[in-house]
């Protein structure tokens, strides 16, 4: 039919095979090929039924996302789905791998669906800011009922073949070879004169829906979908499906799909889809760079981070040895790990056997020699350069040649740490985010001498433990924390100017941040910020700089752990309560420092925090500490609770317009001077040329 779609006949059954690697996206040429193959099958007098299958690793994984920005070529997917459904010969979809989005919609056009037991099906469009636009919102409720269809489309999560079979999406599970099994199934159906079943002929059974079902459903998903554009439109489509015939419902679905596709949110989420895959590509480290095998892991320090990191590896099935200074610290650390697992078990996320198995993989130690046969050692002791240098000198003495030596430092100079060993090429930063066993991000810090093999190994380690590894350069705070520092500076300066911390948090959260910066500080511990900033080599000579943290620290307000910080906390509670005492302290301090109080509106709160962040991002990019703007976005979305639907700070800057961002930076420079608000040259250049960060190439 064409290079991407093949037609053949096997014992009376037409077999249409789509072969568009890597994931059989149903691109324009594939759609053309399928239409031609269907015509041929219709005209083929010796073909009594049709099987649609895919070559390679998966059934159709959806529309080709890279085509969304181009004009839609004919035939479009809805035409293909409706042509399949309208066939007079029985059509069977043969599914392996993942049938996602347009892939599942294609299968829903078929009259029967069979699948391997390992297959998964789903409608993940919502994750791209879209809704299923090839009649999925109209067909799925007809097939599985309103609530099950909504759950699949709102979560975007694929389900297993077994579950799909239970719901009626899959009719037959095939064992052995899928194509042979599907052909045999089609023959059986023909032999039994099975009817041609068309979903368009089914009505949605809305009679059993409780009164107010849709209002209640909206309420139920409100928290999880806060700020997102597509979910409400998915609900609208399903409401439509309960009232209108499929063709009419599909027309309205198409309108809402186009709205979603044109939304800045969808552009942002599609950007992240590709950015999260591109981070794995490092220009000077080819894909075939050898990786060192990692079978045993050592961790130094069983504190907040060391314990969480140990869990990451135990969860992946790797044995871990955790080294501490004394038995009490070790017991405390391992006790916390056990408690965390038990909490998971009590919530039904782990079985008791799994808790035992994972704890069984974690072993405590007090002697350096216990790390002698580790393939990877991760240091997670206090954030103190001298201490880390000592630890690395000791690791150098005991670890076997070829072991990867990593530090979880969040700010310190990796090269200084590497120089404490005689093997700086084996030293790398693995910067986890708290809680380490939960947060997806892993910043992988490349030192001046880190070898390509060690970098490739670290990228592989991220995959093993289910993290998104992003390679960054060695500078104070690396990418995430260096940018966060700018945001914090403005946040605290605005507090001296009269904005209460809780208002800043509220505005940030309404803007989409998972948590406001002051709540984050109370959670992480204000003392950590204070100590880390004291060690900073480039501290500005400015008494107002992050002064509020220092002030709270001086008053013993370290955050949740002391029951007070930016907020106060009732005994045993984590609910932040605004504290007039804090307001008074800050007001008095502002007076002492001579900072004028002024009215600041919500727009300024957002601009000052995020323009400061973006400007720093541009400096980081130019300096090469991040490889691509998308890498910065991936870091912020996966490590700092930046709203996914804004695509990350650099993509957000593009959406605002770089001219506008630059004008804002210049405005604050006019008011506060050059020290913090000098525009990054890259921002200036791109704004002048009408460019974007995401379109920029080094
Ligand atoms: N379009 C274009 N490219 C795609 C793609 C798609 N739908 N899905 C995957 N790719 C590309 C990836 O970018 C990647 O490219 P590189 O190798 O160049 O980086 C390559 O295929 C392999 O992808 P993964 O690295 O993600 O491979 P994986 O094995 O880890 O996962 C997958 C495979 C589960 C299919 C995953 O790629 C995935 O979830 N894809 C997206 C599925 C999706 O969202 N489909 C819905 C599309 S929207 C739609 O269909 C709208 C509609 O209603 C018509
Ligand atoms: P922590 O204070 O909770 O734990 C440090 C642990 O190291 C303590 O249990 C201590 O007994 C142990 N330790 C100290 N010296 C040791 C030695 N010589 N040998 C063995 N163990 C030793 O500290 P936390 O928060 O876990 O931080 C550890 C590192 O992780 C720091 O470098 C920090 O900057 C970094 N980090 C912390 C994050 C956080 O949110 N807490 C986030 C990301 C990185």
- pLDDT at position 223 is 94
The closest residue, in CA terms, to atom 9 on ligand 2 is: 303
- pLDDT at position 207 is 85
From the number of C-beta atoms within 10 Å of its C-beta (0-12, 13-18, 19+), residue 330 rates as: middle
62 close to ligand 1 (CB < 6 Angstrom): yes
- pLDDT at position 208 is 86
CA distances from 409 to 395, 422, 513, 529, 535 (A): 16, 20, 25, 13, 13
Going from the Cα of 381 to the center of ligand 2, the distance in angstroms, rounded, reads: 4
Q: How far apart are the first and last CA of the chain?
A: 41
The closest residue, in CA terms, to atom 29 on ligand 1 is: 23
Q: Which residues pair with 99 in a beta bridge?
A: 121
Indicate the length of the chain as a whole number: 698
Question: How large is the average pLDDT for residues 151-170?
Answer: 98
Question: How large is the average pLDDT for residues 220-248?
Answer: 96
152 close to ligand 1 (CB < 6 Angstrom): no
66 close to ligand 1 (CB < 6 Angstrom): yes
Where in 43-195 does DSSP place strands (E)? 49-54, 90-95, 98-100, 112-116, 120-122, 159-160, 172-174
Confidence of residue 80 (pLDDT cuts 50, 70, 90): very high
- pLDDT at position 517 is 98
3-state secondary structure of 101: coil
Number of helices and strands in the chain (H, E):
29, 19
Q: Is residue 105 among the annotated active site residues?
A: yes
411, 476 Cβ separation under 8 angstroms: yes
**Encoding tokens for residue 587?**
């007001």
264 close to ligand 2 (CB < 6 Angstrom): no
Going from the Cα of 126 to the center of ligand 1, the distance in angstroms, rounded, reads: 14
Cα 258-259-260 angle, rounded to 5 deg: 90
| Ligand 1 site-directed mutation target among 23, 99, 628, most atoms within 8 Å of CB | 23
- pLDDT at position 219 is 98
**Encoding tokens for residue 37?**
């193959």
Q: Which of 125, 253, 497, 616 is catalytic?
A: 125
- pLDDT at position 526 is 97
Question: How large is the average pLDDT for residues 607-628?
Answer: 98
435 close to ligand 2 (CB < 6 Angstrom): no
The answer for residues whose C-beta is within 8 angstroms of residue 271's C-beta and 6 or more apart is: 630, 633, 647, 648, 651, 694
The closest residue, in CA terms, to atom 13 on ligand 1 is: 274
The answer for residues whose C-beta is within 8 angstroms of residue 244's C-beta and 6 or more apart is: 252
Going from the Cα of 23 to the center of ligand 1, the distance in angstroms, rounded, reads: 6
- pLDDT at position 628 is 98
- pLDDT at position 537 is 85
130 close to ligand 1 (CB < 6 Angstrom): yes
Going from the Cα of 306 to the center of ligand 2, the distance in angstroms, rounded, reads: 7
The proportion of the chain whose per-residue pLDDT surpasses 70, expressed as a percent, equals 100
- pLDDT at position 590 is 98
- Which is nearest to 233 in space by CA: 259, 210, 211, 209? 259
Question: How large is the average pLDDT for residues 264-279?
Answer: 97
CA distances from 471 to 312, 352, 433, 474, 632 (A): 19, 37, 15, 10, 10
- pLDDT at position 273 is 97
What is the per-residue pLDDT across 284-299, written as a single tens digit (0 to 9) for each? 999 999 999 999 999 9
Q: How far is Cα 67 from Cα 84, in angstroms, rounded to an integer?
A: 22
322 close to ligand 2 (CB < 6 Angstrom): no
389 close to ligand 2 (CB < 6 Angstrom): no
658, 492 Cβ separation under 8 angstroms: no
For 10, the enclosing helix (H) or strand (E) is: strand 5-10
Cα 188-192-194 angle, rounded to 5 deg: 95
What is the per-residue pLDDT across 316-371, written as a single tens digit (0 to 9) for each? 999 999 999 999 999 999 999 999 999 999 999 999 999 999 999 999 999 999 99
Going from the Cα of 550 to the center of ligand 2, the distance in angstroms, rounded, reads: 21
Ligand located closest to 136 CA: 1
- pLDDT at position 682 is 98
- pLDDT at position 121 is 98
Q: How far is Cα 471 from Cα 458, in angstroms, rounded to an integer?
A: 9
**Encoding tokens for residue 601?**
């509106």
Question: How large is the average pLDDT for residues 247-270?
Answer: 97
Q: What stretches of 363-500 show up as alpha helix (H) in DSSP?
A: 385-398, 414-419, 452-464, 480-496
For 563, the enclosing helix (H) or strand (E) is: none
For 554, the enclosing helix (H) or strand (E) is: helix 547-554
The closest residue, in CA terms, to atom 25 on ligand 1 is: 277
Q: What share of the chain is helix, strand, coil (3-state, %, to 5)?
A: 50, 15, 35
Q: How far is Cα 84 from Cα 90, in angstroms, rounded to an integer?
A: 9
Is pLDDT of 72 > 90? no
The closest residue, in CA terms, to atom 26 on ligand 1 is: 277
390 close to ligand 1 (CB < 6 Angstrom): no
- pLDDT at position 2 is 86
Is pLDDT of 311 > 80? yes
What is the per-residue pLDDT across 323-332, written as a single tens digit (0 to 9) for each? 999 999 999 9
Question: How large is the average pLDDT for residues 691-698?
Answer: 94
- Tokens 């005492």 sit at which residue? 581
Question: How large is the average pLDDT for residues 57-63?
Answer: 97
Ligand located closest to 442 CA: 2
Going from the Cα of 399 to the center of ligand 2, the distance in angstroms, rounded, reads: 20
Q: Which residues pair with 93 in a beta bridge?
A: 52, 113
- Quote the pTM value: 0.95
Is pLDDT of 416 > 80? yes
Q: Which of 79, 85, 105, 147 is catalytic?
A: 105
| Ligand 2 site-directed mutation target among 302, 306, 406, 520, most atoms within 8 Å of CB | 306
What is the per-residue pLDDT across 520-565, written as a single tens digit (0 to 9) for each? 999 999 999 999 898 888 899 999 999 999 999 999 999 999 999 9
Sheet holding 159-160, edge to edge: 98-100, 120-122, 159-160
412, 383 Cβ separation under 8 angstroms: yes
Q: How far is Cα 284 from Cα 41, in angstroms, rounded to an integer?
A: 49
325 close to ligand 2 (CB < 6 Angstrom): yes
CA 89 to the chain's CA centroid:
43
Q: Which atom of ligand 2 is nearest to the CA of 391?
A: 18
DSSP string, 336-395: HHHHHHHHHHHTTSS-HHHHHHHHHHEEEESSGGGGTT-SEEEE---S-HHHHHHHHHHH
Strand pairing report for 577-578 and 567-568? antiparallel
Mean pLDDT of the chain: 97
Is pLDDT of 1 > 80? no
- pLDDT at position 635 is 98
- pLDDT at position 401 is 98
Q: How far is Cα 443 from Cα 558, in angstroms, rounded to an integer?
A: 26
Q: Which atom of ligand 1 is nearest to the CA of 103?
A: 50
308 close to ligand 1 (CB < 6 Angstrom): no
Q: Which residues pair with 112 in a beta bridge?
A: 92
Identify whether 435 is preceded by a cis peptide bond (ω within 30 of 0).
yes
409 close to ligand 2 (CB < 6 Angstrom): yes
The dihedrals phi and psi of 171, each to the nearest 5 degrees, come to -95, -30
CA distances from 658 to 512, 540, 637, 645 (A): 21, 27, 20, 19
């Amino acid at each position: 039919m064409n290079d991407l779609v093949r037609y053949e006949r096997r014992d009376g059954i037409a077999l249409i095979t789509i072969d568009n690697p890597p994931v059989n996206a149903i691109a324009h040429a594939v759609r053309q090929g399928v239409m031609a193959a269907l015509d041929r099958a219709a005209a083929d007098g010796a073909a009594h039924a049709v099987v649609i299958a895919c070559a390679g690793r998966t059934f159709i994984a959806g529309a080709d996302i890279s085509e969304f920005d181009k004009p839609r070529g004919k035939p479009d997917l809805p035409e293909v789905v409706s042509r399949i459904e309208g066939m007079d010969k029985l059509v069977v979809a043969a599914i392996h791998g993942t049938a996602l989005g347009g892939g599942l919609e294609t299968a829903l056009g078929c009259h029967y669906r069979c699948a391997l037991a390992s297959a998964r099906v789903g409608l993940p469009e919502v994750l791209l800011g879209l809704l299923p636009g090839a009649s999925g919102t109209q067909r799925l409720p007809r097939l599985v009922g309103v609530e099950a269809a909504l759950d699949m489309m709102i979560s975007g999560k694929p389900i297993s073949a077994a579950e799909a079979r239970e719901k009626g999406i899959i009719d037959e599970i095939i064992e052995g070879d899928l194509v042979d099994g599907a052909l045999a199934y089609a023959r059986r159906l023909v032999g039994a004169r099975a009817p041609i079943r068309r979903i368009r002929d089914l009505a949605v059974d809305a009679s059993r829906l409780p009164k107010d079902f849709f209002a209640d459903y909206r309420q139920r998903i409100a928290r999880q979908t806060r700020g997102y554009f597509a979910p409400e439109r998915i609900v609208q489509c399903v409401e439509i499906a309960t009232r209108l015939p499929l063709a009419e419902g599909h027309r309205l679905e198409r309108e809402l799909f186009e709205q979603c596709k044109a939304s800045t949110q969808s552009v942002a989420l599609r950007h992240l889809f590709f950015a999260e895959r591109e981070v794995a590509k490092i220009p000077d480290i080819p894909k075939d760079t050898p990786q060192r095998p990692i079978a045993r892991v050592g961790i130094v320090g069983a504190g907040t981070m060391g314990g969480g990191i140990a869990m990451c590896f135990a969860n992946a099935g790797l044995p871990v040895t955790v080294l501490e200074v004394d038995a009490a610290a070790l017991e405390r650390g391992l006790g916390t790990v056990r408690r965390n697992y038990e909490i998971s078990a009590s919530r039904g996320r782990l079985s008791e056997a799994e808790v035992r198995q994972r704890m069984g993989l974690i072993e405590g130690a007090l002697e350096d020699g216990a790390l002698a046969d580790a393939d990877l050692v991760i240091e997670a002791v206090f954030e103190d350069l001298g201490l880390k240098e000592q630890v690395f000198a000791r690791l150098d003495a005991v670890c076997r040649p070829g072991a990867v030596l990593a530090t979880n430092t969040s700010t310190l100079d990796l090269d200084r740490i590497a120089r404490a060993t005689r093997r700086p090429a084996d030293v790398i930063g693995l910067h986890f985010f708290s809680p380490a066993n939960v947060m997806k991000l892993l910043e992988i810090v490349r030192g001046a001498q880190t070898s390509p093999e060690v970098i490739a190994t670290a990228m592989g380690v991220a995959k093993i433990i289910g993290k998104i590894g992003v390679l960054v350069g060695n500078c104070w705070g690396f990418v995430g924390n260096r940018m966060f520092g700018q945001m914090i500076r403005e946040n605290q300066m605005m507090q001296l100017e009269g904005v209460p911390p809780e208002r800043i948090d509220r505005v940030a959260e309404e803007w989409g941040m998972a948590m406001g910066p002051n709540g984050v500080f109370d959670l992480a511990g204000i003392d950590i910020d204070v100590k880390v900033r004291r060690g900073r080599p480039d501290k500005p000579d400015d008494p107002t700089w992050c002064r509020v943290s220092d002030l709270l620290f001086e008053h013993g307000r370290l955050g949740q752990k002391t029951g007070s910080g930016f907020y106060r906390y009732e005994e045993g509670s984590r609910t932040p309560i605004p504290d007039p005492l804090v307001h008074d302290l800050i007001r008095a301090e502002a007076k002492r420092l001579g900072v004028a109080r002024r009215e600041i509106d919500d727009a300024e709160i957002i601009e000052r925090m995020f323009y400061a962040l973006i400007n720093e991002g541009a400096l980081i990019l130019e300096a090469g500490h991040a490889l691509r703007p998308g890498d910065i976005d991936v870091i912020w979305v996966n490590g700092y609770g930046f709203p996914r639907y804004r695509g990350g700070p650099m993509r957000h800057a593009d959406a605002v317009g770089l001219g506008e961002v630059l004008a804002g930076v210049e405005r604050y420079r006019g008011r506060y001077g050059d020290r913090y608000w000098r525009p990054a040259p890259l921002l200036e250049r791109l704004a002048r040329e009408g460019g974007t960060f995401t379109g920029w190439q080094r």
